[in-house]
Structure 1
Amino acid sequence: MSDSAIRQDVIDELDFEPSIDAANVGVAVKDGIVTLTGNVKTYFERMTAEDAAKRVEGVKGLASEIEVVPFGSNKVTDEDIVQRCLNVLKWNTAIPEGAIQVKVSKGLVTLEGRATWQYQKDAAENAIRRLPGVVGITNWITITPQTSPADIKKRIEEAFRRDAEVEAKAITVSVTGGTVTLEGRVKAWAERKAAERAAWSAPGVKLVDDRITVL
């Protein structure tokens, strides 16, 4: 697929996504690598735009240079953001109470603490994506392993076999401590991301080193 065709598909996908104001988002493509530029009102809108671009067939990689520029009701103080973050984390039953610490500087949120599962780490980040005033999130929450490397490897390989999006035979899995390394070749960016999600779903995974290439 040509770069121009990919670019048009990305533009169409952004226009199709109702939660994005695509008028302020620019799209460039070179060798299958998409670059997004421009500005949006919220961090959630930026992440939605990135996810929309990744869904497009032929996309091999993504560079996001979109800036979050809060204004109007989306412009709040760091103190307000901290309090709102703590509230939504407290209300989310997937997150262990008191396990996550929040720091905010100029709208950039930093999350620290410990979790048992990757889904808890993801839940903490997802819970605050929509909050007004947030311009970015740095997630330093660490995962405390409770399983052996061999068990982690087995669980990931089983997850690959169950996932219709993933060609299990095309991907190799190795585990050292809580670090998972994925290698192989797939046909689409979406398949690569599906494999990465499956790897993160295993208990005890602290880091996924995704070396899968898109043909």
Structure 2
Amino acid sequence: MNDLQLKQAVMDELEFDPAIDAAHVTAFVHDGVVTLAGYVGDYTQKHAAETAARRIKGVRAIAQEIEVRLPTDRKIADDEIADRATRILDWDLRLPRDAIQVMVEKGVVVLRGTVAWEFLRREAEADVRKLGGVLGVSNHICVVSPARLGSVQKKIHAAFERSAELQAEKVTVHFDEEGIVKLGGQLHSMLERAAAENAAWSAPGVSKVINQIEIGY
């Protein structure tokens, strides 16, 4: 697929996704690198646009340059966003209470703290992403849990083998005593690359994943 075909595929996916008003969104493609530009009416649409582009086979990387332009009557003060974000995190029973701190500056929510699993880190971000008035989310939550070197590598490889979305034999895994996983190898799409990273994060004891998997054809 050449760049022109890839651009059309990305635009078709953006227009097909009901979560996105793509009327003011466009894409530029060079050597498989997609730049998303334009503007949307809320942060959830910006996130959905990036997710949609990642689904397209042949996309090697994404540059996210979409702006969030809130209507005047939907702009909310930072202190009110912070209050809402704190409350919605408290209401999420899977998140450890008082473990996550919230700061808001010019509509951008900054999250800090520690959790035991990556899915909780992502869940906290998803909780605040959908709040009105949010222009962006900066997630600095750390994943901290005990690491057991041998068992973690086995669990990651087993997760790769179970996955229908990736070719396990093409991914290399290195895990150190600090809980850092490094993924290498070559896969065919960003979707496969993301599936490998998600599988690695699912193992207990993983504190960080460095995804060095390349996208090839």
**TM-score class, shorter:** over 0.9
How far apart, in 2, do the equivalents of 1:36 and 1:157 lie?
Answer: 34
Aligned 1:42-191 pairs, distance under 5 A: 42-176=42-176, 177-191=178-192
Paired letter, 1:14 = L
1:42 and 1:74 in contact (8 A); partners too: no
> SS at the partner of 1:128?
helix
Q: How far, CA to CA, are the matches of 1:155 and 1:70 in structure 2?
A: 44
Deviations 1:123-173 (A, max 9, x none): 100111111111111111111122313222221111101101111100010
Contact preservation (8 Å) 1:70, 1:132: no
Distance 1:191 1:153 in 2: 19
CA contact (8 A) 2:59 2:189 kept: yes
Letter in 2 for 1:68: V
1:43, 1:134 within 8 Å by CA — same for their partners in 2? yes
The aligned runs of 1:14-29 (5 Å cut-off) are 14-29=14-29
Query: Could you tell me how far apart the structure 2 residues matched to 1:136 and 1:4 are?
Result: 30
- Helix, strand or coil: the match of 1:127? helix
Which secondary structure state, in structure 1, belongs to the residue aligned with residue 51 of structure 2?
A: helix
Question: Residue 211 of structure 2 corresponds to which residue in structure 1?
Answer: 210
Say whether the 8 Å CA contact 2:187–2:215 is kept in structure 1: yes
Distance in 1 separating the partners of 2:73 and 2:126: 20
CA deviations over 1:59-90 (Å, ceiling 9, x no partner): 11111111112224531010111011011111
- The gaps in structure 2 that reach 5 residues or longer are none
Identity %: 42
The TM-score, its normalising length taken from structure 2, stands at 0.96
Runs of 4+ residues over 6 Å off in structure 1: none
Distance in 2 between residues matched to 1:150 and 1:104, nearest whole Å: 41
Structure 1 unmatched ranges of 5 or more: none
Shift of 1:191: 0.6
Alpha-carbon RMSD across the aligned residues, in angstroms, is 1.1
